[in-house]
Each structure stands twice: as C-alpha cells, then as structure tokens.
Structure 1
Amino acid sequence: MKTPNPALRHVLFLNWRDTLNPEGGGSEVFVERIAAELVARGHQATLLCAAHGNGPAEEVNAAGVRILRRGGRHTVYARAALTYLAGWFGLGRLRRGAAGRARPDLIVDVCNGLPFLSPLWSRRPVVTLVHHVHREQWPVVLPPRAARFGWWIESSLAIRVYRRCRYVTVSAATRDELAVLGVDPRRVTVVHNGTPEVSVARTAKTAEPTLVVLGRLVPHKQVEVALRALAALSQQWPALSVVVAGQGWWEPKLRAYAAELGVGDRVRFAGFVSDEEKQALLSSAWLALTPSLKEGWGLTIVEAGAQGTPTVAFRGAGGVAEAVMDGRTGLLADNEEEFVAHVRTLLADDERRAAMGAAARIYADGFTWSAAGDKFAAAIGAGTAPQTAAAGATRSRTPDLPLP
C-alpha cells in the first residue's frame, strides 16, 4: 500500500454556498477554483456548504473536489460544526473521505459576513478567507437592529475569534479594510482571482449600443443604477439597451423599476446563463457595467475584459478599483452622476472604447488560476506556521498596457 505523502494535505473549505446554489456568485467561483488547484497539486479538498435543490447532498465534482451540502442558508453554520465533530469522532462522512487523508489537516473558513467560527470547535489550524468587508451591505439587506448585530459579529466577534489565524483575501483593498478592524496586514495574504478561460469564439459587437450587467440580483449590486443610466441616455441613443444576466430574489423589483422608468422594453433579464452564453454576452456588449456597492475583487470585470469589453464601475467599491485600471481598461466613478457621464463618454467614443477593450484583454490575461493556486498553497503553509511571513501579499504583476 502506498504511504501517504506527509506534505500533502486534506483541506476542508467551509462556505455558505457553492457555484450550483441559485445565489452563488464570484466568491463561490474563487473557492471552488482554488480547491481544484489544490487537488491538481496532489492535495485532497472538501467543500462543506448549504444544501439546495440544484445539487445532491454529496458529490465529487469534475475537478476532484468533494462537496458536502448540509443545512440551509442559516443552519449551515451549525451543521458544519456538527458534521466536522461527527467526522472527528469517526461517525460522519468527513472521516470516510476519498483516497488520502480522511481527517482534514486544515480548515479554510470563508467569512461572507457571518463566519463559521471554526476555531471555537475544531482542533485543526484555520485559515480565514475574506472576500470583502460588509460594512456597507448590512444596512442594505437587513433591518437596522439586525444590521448592527451582523456588523458586530463581523467587525468585533470574528476579529477576536480569528485573532491567531492567518487570513487570505482577494484584493489589497480588503486587506486594508481588515487592518482598520485590527487585523495585522502581515497576517494577510492577497490572492487575486484568476481569469476564466475563454472557451468560445469572441462575438462581434452588437450593431446598436448594448450594455451588460452580470451578477446576482440582490439590492447591494445596485442594478438600479444601470437602469437609471439607460433612462438618462435614451434620448441620445434611442436604440440603447441593457442585458441583465443573473438571478436573485430582487428581480421582480428590478423589472417593476424598469417599467416605472419607461425602459422596460429595452431591458432584457436573461436569468441564469451558461459560461458560453455569458462569454457571448460580454463579448458582444459595448460596455459592461458594475454598479455594485462593494466587491472583494470584481471577477465579472475581468471576465468582461477577457472578452475585450471595458467596464464602468464605482471607485469606492472595494477591490473593483484593482480589477479596473482606471482610464486604461475602464472608468471608475465617484458618484452616480459621474457613472452615467462615463457611460456616455465611452458610448460616444468608438476609438477610445476599442482601445480600452484591447487593454482590458491584456490585463485580464495577467491573472491566472494557476498563479492563484500557487499563492494559496503558500498561504496554507503559512497557516500552520504563524511565524512565517505572509506569502504573495503583493499584487500580481500588472502587464504593460498602452494608454487608450
């Protein structure tokens, strides 16, 4: 029988959602792609997340990542602890893993606002993965009292519980925000998202100007800003349209708002789209809009860039300011009035828009999942040796780009 390599590890990811979840988004893509990169390097990876109707209770995906779906949107946190403890004592599925180590050697605790608090109930080293700080989102998605409680958990309780843990985040902006909350930047490794592979031939731009918004349909994504931009620019471009690709519980509100603005006939809600459909949409659009209140990185921005489409977004939206090279691969706005003005500027300037799209493609090519996997693997090593300096804390190499 082959002796297990002690350098190889079984890594348990705790995340409230997975990519098949109807509410899954860019953070779930990051977790699963990183887990796949670890598997490709010989590690064993298990993802424990909430159950839903789009996936079985247990499966091994095409990349070799084992996925356990337990509990619901809120109960997944307790179920994670119970499943882990049952596995620890030989009663559950974590102990009966695939070939390799049955027990997790390390936990990656993904904190999407609410943490799993795994240092309180596990006996393994914990690496904390934070995509972004939710200070602005809590008041948008919850009533005032609940929002204050959620923010206290994220900004105070979690900081104390994870005080001995190493952190991973996806942008320097989030690392800076964590520092404000009291997390020493020397404990934080920045691992940028990779750019999804282009799997279909690029599509020609639409004959008439088209804007695309890609993401979950929830309040803090602020799709309303894109709808108001459409209404404001309709007189100048009567054939201007917006495609909203994504799904979420906020969609009925957005449909009603588009009708209220008088642009309902020029907004197409595409719902969930496959990777091929998404790439075709991003490729054919004149501009991508990311009006989100906050993003850890801005994966859809780089996805649009890979298709040669520049993005307009808000400067203060966290990692968005790193996903967009302002003035080169897109434009960043400080307020909604400027956001609309940027859209107008790029729609009116074919040459500048094309130059930005070309630069965005070069920039997107500089981010790979292989490089992200290397940095994350280094962070795992740091997670078990607190005295080791944070690996990969610097920004990925920025390609040399022509100025549009």
Structure 2
Amino acid sequence: MRVVVVNWRDLGHRQAGGAETYAAGIAHAMAARGHDVTYLTARDAGQRRRDTDGPVTVRRRGGRWTVYPLALLWLLLRRRRVGMVVDCQNGIPFFTPLAVGGARVVQVVHHVHTDQFGVHFPAWLAALGRLLEGPVARRVYRNATTVAVSPSTVDAMRLRLGWRGPVHVVPNGNTTAPPGLPPRDPAPTVVCLGRLVPQKRVDRLVDAVARLLPQLPDLRLHVIGGGPEHAALLARAAPLGAAVVVHGRVSEAEKSALLGRAWLNVTLSDGEGWGLAVLEAAAHGVPTLCRDVPGLRDSVRHGATGWHLPPGAPVADALRRVLADLADPVAAARTAEHCRDWAARFDWAATGARFAEVAERHAREGVRGGWLPGMPEATVAEFTPSDEPALLVEQCAPAELLDELRAAGARHVTVRAASATERLLGRAIPADTHDRPHSRS
C-alpha cells in the first residue's frame, strides 16, 4: 500500500514529544513491511518542505494551525493514489476521511484533551475544540479503525467522548538504559523528565520542593526537557539556588546520568496517553510519583513501579512519604528491579509490528465488530487442559468468541475480560494476578 502518516509534527520539530516518537515508530514499521510510506506534517523553522528519514518520505506543509487545511488539500489531490492514512490525533483531528474518500483510515488517539482545551484557549475556542474532538470526530471517523495507546485512554474515549467504534490498544515502545550508569546519589534526588508545557504542572513540583527544603535541606530536583515553560520555570526556581536545576534539553548521555543518580521521577501532568518519560525512567530503575490520570495509571503500576497521587492530595506530603520509603536501600533496590522488569516489556519493534497488523487487517477487512456498553474491550479464552495457549481477542463480545471457539471444536474453554496489563502487552497472562479480574464462564 501507499501509506500516509499524518501527524502534527515530526521528530525534527522543536516541540516534538512522545506523540512524534510514536508516529515515527509506526511509519518506519510500515515501511519495513514493504509499504510505501509518506510522513505528512507541519514545517518548523529551518526545516525543508521535502526530506527523507531512511525509507520514509517526509512532506512538510504549513505551521501550527495551517497544517490542518494544507494536509487535507495535499491528500485530496492524491486521494486516488493513497491506500491508507494513519491519522494521528493531537486534540483536534485532521479529519482525513473527508479528503481520501474510499481509502482506509486508522486513527491514533494518544489521550483525550477535553479538559486541556480550557488550559490553552479562551472559553469559546475550548468549546469548539471539545465539539470537534467529540461529536464531530465520532461522525467523521465512523468507518475508521481507532488505535489508542493505553487502556485508560480507551476508557476516557468511551466515557468523555461517547466513542462507540472499535478501539485497539497498541502501547508505546521503550528503549533500554545504557550500561555504566552512575550510582544513586546519597541525598534524596528527584527528576522531572518531559516537555515543559503548562499541562505538565512542573511549577507545582517546584513549589512542593520549596516547601520541603526546611525539612529536607539536601533535597535536589533536576528538571529535564525543553518547551515553552522553560523561562518561567527558571525564574520560579531561581530563589531556591542549587536545590532546583532547570536543565532544559540535554544530551542522551547526560539525561541517563541524571536518571542514574535519581531516587524518583515525578510527573504531575493533567493527563497523558501513556507517558514515555515514565518508562524511560523505569528502564533506569527509577520509579515515578504521578497523578492518578488516564495514561499514567497504566504506565505506572501503583505500589510496584511508582505511586498514584489521588486527586487533590498535597504533592509535598506525598513526595516526603515516598522519599522516606526510598531511603531504605533494600526497598529502593526492590522497586528498581520492578521498574526495570516492567520497562523491558515494551519495545518499539513490538509496537510497530502490532500496529502494522491492526492496519493491514483493516486494509483487508474494513471495520469489523463494534462495542456496546458493558462489553469488555478485550476477551481472554483459556482452555482446559492447558495444552493450548490462552487467546486474547480485542473488540469481540465474549459470547460470540465462545460460540466461535466451540464451533471450531473447543469443548473446555472459559472466557473472561482481559486485564489492563494483558491489553497493554497484547497477550493473555494466566499467572498475572496484579490487576487481573476474576475469571468467569
């Protein structure tokens, strides 16, 4: 197929983040399977209109807002030559089905932006954003297959956007930590890794550290990442001296060194699709304290690889308690082991392969199945005796799956709802009892 991946930015954009890493990963995965892939995106200052990224052709049109109509025009003029569009939604969709007619469309949703529109825009524009993300998108993408990056993103789509079409989970991948990391600092050391944008609420973390310094004078915070909030955070941190260092963008080697010395990563984001920084920290053995919001409640396993902060809970109090727990070397080592084990379950090769399988199945068959309130998003079938491996199927009613298996000759089979972990990993895990629901026939 000729595949066009449409995303707001590419990895060379100054404001690139996790969504761009994901889009680039799936573009390369589709190209590796023999598809002719074009990456269609906005053009940042200094970027060329045409470029190549290995086997992927890059086309850049427009800026922050004008990329939307210009991308649609580009697709409209080439609609007869496009076999599939991967439409990556970043709050406001591109609405590519309006331009490509009969071409297959796979929509990618990282997280629901309903509340965040009010953070960035005036009331009337926020209301328009919510309208486009919800009712309008439901109508335009009714014949598309949707991919979300986490189970809690799917839940938010169902609850807050009223989404009823099939949604498949394909999580982000992860990279491994380099060898030879420095030892953990003897003093309590916190990092905040990620883009510096308003919805990440890094200012609240700086304030929490300021409140704790009289009790923990050795406490240190390293803010790692770039973004529009960089200057404001520098000014906020200035009165705290060496206790808070706002590094901005750093090299990969420096980032790994800072993570290697850290006790804890903290993210107070309003919401994430997944939280790439969380898994990157976990690969270095660093747990995360985060708000209990969609995305992060999947990427951070509460009590194992980090802690979820309940709504309204004081950040400083939670930070003090967690650092007290991590002061115990045995507890810290156990948590670091859990983090590395969890992070190792995700890699970009597997993510690309899973996404490509969903996209290619959609190209062959179109939209199959649907979703009804109360129906599990994914179902696991387990066989007795267990000579056959358990089977995980997305977007299929349990009764229908049971009927099909029995029609195929299975006689001793039990079906149950898949756990969030199983949906993330894309396979049944009979031994996993961390968040697994009770089995049911």
TM-score clears 0.5: yes
1:70 paired residue number: 61
Secondary structure, aligned partner of 2:100: coil
Q: Which has the larger radius of gyration?
A: 2
Query: What letter corresponds to residue 69 of structure 1 in structure 2?
Result: R
Q: Distance in 2 between matches of 1:57 and 1:230?
A: 44
The answer on whether the counterparts of 1:382 and 1:389 sit within 8 Å (CA) in structure 2 is: no
Residue in structure 2 matching 1:293, options 249, 270, 281: 270
1:3 paired residue number: none
2:40 paired residue number: 48
Residue in structure 1 matching 2:22, options 27, 30, 46: 30
2:294 paired residue number: 318
Q: Deviations over 1:129-162 (max 9, x none)?
A: 1100001211111111211111111112112111
Secondary structure, aligned partner of 1:11: strand
2:255 paired residue number: 278
- Asked whether 1:249 is paired with 2:241, we answer no
Please identify, of 291-300 and 174-183, the stretch whose mean Cα deviation from structure 2 is larger: 174-183
The answer on whether the counterparts of 1:166 and 1:382 sit within 8 Å (CA) in structure 2 is: no
1:183 paired residue number: 163
Query: What letter corresponds to residue 68 of structure 1 in structure 2?
Result: R
The answer on whether the counterparts of 2:87 and 2:94 sit within 8 Å (CA) in structure 1 is: yes
Residue in structure 1 matching 2:237, options 239, 250, 258: 258
TM-score normalised to structure 2 length:
0.80
Q: 1:120-131 counterparts in 2 under 5 A? A: 120-123=98-101, 124-131=103-110
Residue in structure 2 matching 1:348, options 324, 333, 338: 324
1:82 paired residue number: 73
Please identify, of 77-86 and 337-346, the stretch whose mean Cα deviation from structure 2 is larger: 337-346
Secondary structure, aligned partner of 1:30: helix
Q: Distance in 2 between matches of 1:366 and 1:401?
A: 17
Secondary structure, aligned partner of 2:303: coil
Q: Distance in 1 between matches of 2:319 and 2:334?
A: 15
1:105 paired residue number: 83
Unaligned runs of 5+ in 1: 1-8, 90-102
Please identify, of 126-135 and 235-244, the stretch whose mean Cα deviation from structure 2 is larger: 235-244
The answer on whether the counterparts of 2:190 and 2:265 sit within 8 Å (CA) in structure 1 is: yes
The answer on whether the counterparts of 2:82 and 2:100 sit within 8 Å (CA) in structure 1 is: no
Secondary structure, aligned partner of 2:205: helix
1:387 Cα deviation after fit: 4.5
The answer on whether the counterparts of 1:136 and 1:294 sit within 8 Å (CA) in structure 2 is: no
Percent identical pairs in the alignment equals: 37
1:202 Cα deviation after fit: 2.3
The answer on whether the counterparts of 1:133 and 1:174 sit within 8 Å (CA) in structure 2 is: yes
1:219 paired residue number: 198
1:183 Cα deviation after fit: 1.9
Secondary structure, aligned partner of 1:321: helix
1:190 Cα deviation after fit: 0.3
- Asked whether 1:388 is paired with 2:368, we answer yes
Q: Distance in 2 between matches of 1:55 and 1:207?
A: 44
1:66 Cα deviation after fit: 1.9
Q: Deviations over 1:321-341 (max 9, x none)?
A: 010110011011113545433
Distance 1:232 1:54, change over 3 A: farther
- Asked whether 1:305 is paired with 2:334, we answer no
Query: What letter corresponds to residue 62 of structure 2 in structure 1?
Result: G
Query: What letter corresponds to residue 117 of structure 1 in structure 2?
Result: F
**Aligned CA-pair RMSD:** 2.2
1:401 Cα deviation after fit: 10
2:354 paired residue number: 375
The answer on whether the counterparts of 1:362 and 1:401 sit within 8 Å (CA) in structure 2 is: no
Query: What letter corresponds to residue 23 of structure 1 in structure 2?
Result: Q
The answer on whether the counterparts of 1:363 and 1:401 sit within 8 Å (CA) in structure 2 is: no
1:20 Cα deviation after fit: 1.6
1:188 Cα deviation after fit: 0.5
Unaligned runs of 5+ in 2: 371-392, 396-422, 435-441
Residue in structure 1 matching 2:122, options 143, 159, 183: 143
1:291 Cα deviation after fit: 0.8
2:171 paired residue number: 192
Secondary structure, aligned partner of 1:243: strand
Secondary structure, aligned partner of 1:107: strand
Q: Deviations over 1:191-227 (max 9, x none)?
A: 0111123345323222322211111111101001211
Number of aligned residues: 376
Q: Distance in 2 between matches of 1:387 and 1:227?
A: 47
The answer on whether the counterparts of 2:205 and 2:268 sit within 8 Å (CA) in structure 1 is: yes
1:92 paired residue number: none
Secondary structure, aligned partner of 1:263: helix
Distance 1:264 1:17, change over 3 A: farther
Regions of 4+ moved over 4 Å? 389-393, 397-402
The answer on whether the counterparts of 1:200 and 1:276 sit within 8 Å (CA) in structure 2 is: no
1:116 Cα deviation after fit: 0.8
